[in-house]
């Protein structure tokens, strides 16, 4: 599938050159750091600090699209936006074709495997008797890859949120979730038993935008990389 951005372009090279670069930013935990980084990189971020209910903000040469984090890889891969900031976790889970240009360093979190601290039946015992562990997660692809690497048979239950609840209500033996500090997990009496992977925010681009709009995309990538390194 290809996004049809259409409308004003109408094919003339001049019209295309005058088009703003379209960049998607993720709502939620990465948003404030993303805006701060664009500002530090010298971009106009007027209107981004408090966009209210607005989902698109035009500032200078960039049209910002504010999206749900898990949707951002889709925007980029299908060419609806030229570039974006997205967490490595979301990128891995989407398994879509985007160019990963810069590791921005912020938004660090870990994917971990956790299980109840005071499990009546230890997970190892369950596995020995039932031959399969039930795992709840928001990230089925990453979870599947992790257990496959460990050679463990699992049944994956995909949930949309409050993953830490799943073991408490008997829905799962373990969970795979992201954590920055581990607090939510410990407050729900879950302990971390394995590390899956570490994630940070990345600057990514659509593969074709990187070719047809190379100067602006790589220019922005360098500016962001320099700002992130400061």
Which residues are near another protein by CB under 8 A? 1-6, 9-13, 16, 19, 76-80, 97-103, 202, 206-214, 218
80: its two tokens: 């609806």
Q: Give the shortest CB-202-to-another protein separation in angstroms.
A: 6
Half-sphere exposure of 186 (CA within 13 A, CB side): 4
Q: Give the shortest CB-170-to-another protein separation in angstroms.
A: 30
State which residue, 15 or 180, has the beta carbon closest to another protein.
Answer: 15
State which residue, 78 or 127, has the beta carbon closest to another protein.
Answer: 78
State which residue, 77 or 113, has the beta carbon closest to another protein.
Answer: 77
Measured CA to CA, the distance from residue 69 to residue 54 in angstroms comes to 16
Cβ proximity of 91 and 110 under 8 Å? no
State which residue, 112 or 210, has the beta carbon closest to another protein.
Answer: 210
Residue with tokens 């190892």: 124
Q: Give the shortest CB-69-to-another protein separation in angstroms.
A: 18
Q: Give the shortest CB-46-to-another protein separation in angstroms.
A: 25
Measured CA to CA, the distance from residue 206 to residue 76 in angstroms comes to 5
Measured CA to CA, the distance from residue 163 to residue 174 in angstroms comes to 10
């Amino acid at each position: 599938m290809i996004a049809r951005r259409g409308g004003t372009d109408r094919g003339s090279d001049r019209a295309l050159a005058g088009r703003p670069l379209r960049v998607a930013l993720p709502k939620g935990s990465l948003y404030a750091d993303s805006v701060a980084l664009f500002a530090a990189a010298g971009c106009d971020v007027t209107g981004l600090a408090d966009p209210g209910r607005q989902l698109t903000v035009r500032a200078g040469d960039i049209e910002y699209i504010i999206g749900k984090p898990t949707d951002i890889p889709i925007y980029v891969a299908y060419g609806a936006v030229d570039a974006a900031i997205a967490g490595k976790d979301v990128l891995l889970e989407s398994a879509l074709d985007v160019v990963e240009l810069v590791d921005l360093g912020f938004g660090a979190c870990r994917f971990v495997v956790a299980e109840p601290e005071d499990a009546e039946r230890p997970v190892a015992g369950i596995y020995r008797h039932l031959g399969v562990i039930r795992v709840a997660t928001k990230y089925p692809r990453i979870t599947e890859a992790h257990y496959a690497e460990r050679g463990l048979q699992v049944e994956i239950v995909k949930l949309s949120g409050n993953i830490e609840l799943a073991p408490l209500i008997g829905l799962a033996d373990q969970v795979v979730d992201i954590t920055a500090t581990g607090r939510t997990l410990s407050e729900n009496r879950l302990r971390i038993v394995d590390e899956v992977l570490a994630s940070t925010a990345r600057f990514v681009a659509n593969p074709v935008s990187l070719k047809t709009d190379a100067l602006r995309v790589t220019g922005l990538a360098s500016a962001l990389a320099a700002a992130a390194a400061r």
